[in-house]
């Protein structure tokens, strides 16, 4: 894995840990569980260079988007805004990760 990919994954890992801490402080326990699994996938990708880690991140992003949308709607935010913000927040890390890994995908295990 090249330096750009590792740097991005470290930055994403730190961002995800901080977001998970904020969710824990807010009592969003389902979001915390999903994020912890996603972080485990990120660590698997970063430390072991395993494609499975990216797959785990993507599945968790979908679940996170659904949970985030539902929680926002229940909190009084409009449906369109809730789904849009959850989609952006959930898809950002996997999308950028896919972009930085695309040229190295075949070398991953």
Calpha distance 18→74 (Å, rounded): 23
**pLDDT at position 27:** 87
- Three-state secondary structure call for residue 55: helix
* Six token digits for residue 51: 């494609």
Q: What is the pLDDT of residues 66-75, one digit of tens each?
A: 888 887 777 6
pLDDT reading at 11 higher than 70:
yes
Return mean pLDDT, the chain.
88
* Six token digits for residue 42: 């990120």
Instruction: Tell me the whole-structure pTM to 2 decimals.
Output: 0.87
């Amino acid at each position: 894995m090249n330096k750009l990919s590792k740097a991005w994954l470290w930055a994403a890992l730190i961002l995800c840990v901080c977001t998970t801490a904020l969710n824990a402080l807010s009592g969003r326990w389902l979001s915390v569980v999903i994020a912890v699994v996603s972080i485990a996938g990120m660590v698997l990708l970063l430390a072991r260079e395993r494609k499975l880690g990216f797959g785990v991140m993507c599945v968790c992003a979908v679940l996170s988007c659904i949970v985030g949308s539902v929680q926002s709607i229940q909190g009084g935010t409009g449906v369109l805004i809730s789904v849009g913000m959850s989609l952006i927040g959930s898809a950002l890390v996997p999308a950028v990760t896919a972009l930085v890994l695309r040229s190295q995908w075949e070398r991953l295990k």
